[in-house]
Amino acid sequence: MPEQLRFDCYPEGSTSKASCERRGCCWLPDVKGDPARDPPLNVPYCFYPALYPSYIVMNVSDAEYGKTLFLTRVYASGYPSDVPLLRVDVKFETDSRLRVKIYDPLKKRYEVPWPQVPDVRTAAKNPLYEFDYSFRPFGFRVIRKDNGQVVFDTKDVGSLIFADQMLQLSSKLPSSYIYGLGEHQDNFLLSTNWRKFTLFNHDRLPQEKLNLYGSHPFYLSMENTGRSNGVFMFNSNAMGQYCPTLYFGGSQLFFFFYSLNPLYYGFVNVLIQPTPAITFRSIGGIMDMYFFLGPSPKDVIEQYTTLIGRPHMPPFWALGFHLCRFGWKKLSDSEDALARTLKNQIPLDVMWSDIDYMDKWKDFSYDNESYAGLPEYVNKLHAGGLHYVPIIDPGISSAEEPGTYLPFDEGKELGIFIRNVTGDLFIGKVWNPVSTVWVDFTHPKATPYWTNQLTRYHMQVEFDGAWIDMNEPSNFYDGEMHGCPKNDALEQPPYLPGVEGGKLAFKTVCMTARQHASVHYNVHNLYGFTESIVTNFALTDIRQKRPFVISRSTFPGQGRFGGHWTGDVVSTWNAMSKSIPAMLNFNMYGIPLVGADICGFNGNTTVNLCKRWSELGAFYPFSRNHNSEGNVDQDPAALGPDVVRSARTSLRLRYRLLPYLYTLFWKAHSLGQAVVRPLFFEFPEDEETYKIDNCFFWGAGLLIAPVLNEYDESYNYLPAGLWYKLSDGAIINSTGAIYTLKPPRGAPTLLVRGGHVLPAIQPAQTTTEMRSKPFEVIVGLDHRGEAFGELYWDDGDSIGTWEKRFFNLIEFRVKDQKLRASVNKWGYESTMNLSRVSIFGVTVRSESANVTRVVVNNGTVSSKFVFDQRSGQLDITLFSSLAQPLTVEWS
């Protein structure tokens, strides 16, 4: 058996020949080491032989939706409580989506309740795929119909396991290009060299090989033909691999393995190996798998978000710049940061408050001494066109005197707090001085409770959004003060995923804790997601405007209710670089409103790092500078002229391009498209793009190439085509090569892709002020002299403008030296004037090779234009309404 085809038969950890062979597996240790002393980090010593028996098919029938198979177990898995009979529903749900659901037909097991996905009962008529299966042992393949490419193949690969607390399924992959399986800190392209990931939501400073704040059991794979597919395992239980037990023959020695062998730290759920192949392992629920056939990577994401929910449309102001820090101990600290930001003319839209503002760290309160005047401060922000967002944690202080703290009294009365195994309140501790209880957001009464608390607080402080943190949920104890129930299968499952701390309850709630939907063991990964759903509803009810929610913990479907920031990143060059893969991943997960704390959260930044991070962070979809207490101030104006210049210059570019970014969010909301994209999304036929994560697209038309090192240039691969530097119109006619890009001062290199029209606007201090400014369009011509683009515009804050058709949609087309702007939809009465057109790559068909004439609307000859023969950039000044068709022609 070649090493790359060995599938681990003993993922619990080190074993012996006897223990391995009792499972019917092959034992072949590395002759260079002692497996008991030196556990392998890659190739398993104990692995499944070919045609390993597990389940066989006993019955097959056709169904209206596809096929139904019944399987019976013929060989014990080695885990307690094997399920003897399984049902497999194969549903041809759409032409591009296949569902394979494997479950126990005789006993109801936990299934993920949110997000609610459609239950299709009829088969697609022209599917892009075929489903093929084997009988003994059972395995299946998903095959692309037109070219025979196998995109998922479980035949004779490892073993299908379906026990009470251990599910396992392995498959070969069509190539080594695989992305996703978050949340983790890593490169965008995942390594297939025995790489392992844990999916179990956890409050942790981001580091490689650790389970982080969110769980997204979804991956996208590029095939060798340039096509793409995606796979989603719809399961919310912990997934992973850990080694709590060391076997010596028939005896067992229990120990905390991380303390002895830190190299085993982080062994995880989803294993990718060099075959290439993947293994999913979960400790509960069912196997509910969705396959998306694309064929393009952009198609895969659209199909995935169709299933889990399309991203919400954020308010326009949320796309401005946000400023926050943990450590503004008094209100005047926040006021000082605001004042110096405005004084330095750095665009700004939102001021935030971390837990410093709270009275003794209690939700729905503010400190009447250190934050006296907070309501008036927020009113001043609103008067200046700015907005305000406070942090709100899910943990409620539980040690207050009865009648003195309504959030606890009312929650206890309603019974909406998480309970422990005995039915009493589950009591742990977060920031509260004594103790904490947690809202059970799966409880039907949690929504009115949470809405009431937010409403009451909003009557004091008119906040505009909610920052929900610590919602993995985080806990300063391992369970309750005295721990969790001992010798319980939920706390100590037979297979323990590779979670930090060596136990599931490490710095969180006990798995035996009770929630309305299920025990916490099943719904842990849903906690932050359910809080997002409830908070989204509450804000909508309170403000009657678009809700703005940023959550640390996430699960598939989060993008429909809010955005995400990538947690407590450190202030290092590496962390800044890794923020790009994180941003790309979350756009794949259908959560486009995402960003990292600019300049880092933990540790002191430096001027040079913060300068470059400010340039990059200005192009995060969610752009916020935030850092921790005890560190130096890092709001741009606090770090001197270099950082001020970079923040001001880059943010003014961002604000100028906000109409384009806003249009991309509309496309995400309406069509499920990614806002931020890797290069291969636009160039799937170019294999050189598959591993690139040092730059990124906004949509299809703007490439952002930041400086990610301490030098003044970046090295970027540019696929074949025309590219134009936004700063000076310089042309790069690439044939597919690496270019040294010298950025303009104070900004990253921005490249307009040939063939695209980008709507823009005159920047201003706030988005509120900016909305009254005239628009412009930036045109990058392709080799044929053509380009296309769109501008979506609405009032920026009302609910359901797209669904209610209260918007304007303008199309721009360039062909034969003529720009045409046409009104596709005019449903929002507003003044939209165009004041400037910038065209890159102009080639004039005349002997002089010079632009001598510009005509607007087929009659008005414009004298207000400038043409640079060297670069081919044509700038035209005009003043025309976009409410009517418009033409601009040059010769």
Active site residues: 469, 472
Which helix or strand (DSSP H or E) is residue 653 part of?
helix 641-656
CA distance to 339, 340, 351, 527, per residue, from 333 (Å): 10, 11, 12, 33
In the block, tokens 């399920």 appear at 83
438 close to 480: Cβ distance less than 8 angstroms: no
Q: Which two tokens stand for residue 221?
A: 């794979």
- Phi and psi torsions of 8, nearest 5°: -60, 120
CA distance 536 to 514: 24
CA distance 249 to 25: 15
Alpha helix (H) ranges present in 311-359?
Answer: 331-343
- Single-letter amino acid code for the residue at 871: S
Q: Which residues, in sequence order, are bridge partners of residue 724?
A: 731, 752
Name which of 771, 867, 749 is nearest 817 in CA terms: 867
**Length of the chain, please?**
891
Q: How many Cβ atoms from other residues are within 10 Å of residue 471's Cβ?
A: 27
Q: How many Cβ atoms from other residues are within 10 Å of residue 165's Cβ?
A: 18
CA distance 243 to 257: 6
CA distance 817 to 432: 66
Greatest alpha-carbon span in the chain: 93
CA distance 758 to 699: 10
Q: How many Cβ atoms from other residues are within 10 Å of residue 621's Cβ?
A: 23
N-term to C-term CA, the chain: 70
Beta strands 873-881; 833-840: pairing state: antiparallel
CA distance 294 to 301: 8
Q: Which residues, in sequence order, are bridge partners of residue 288?
A: 101
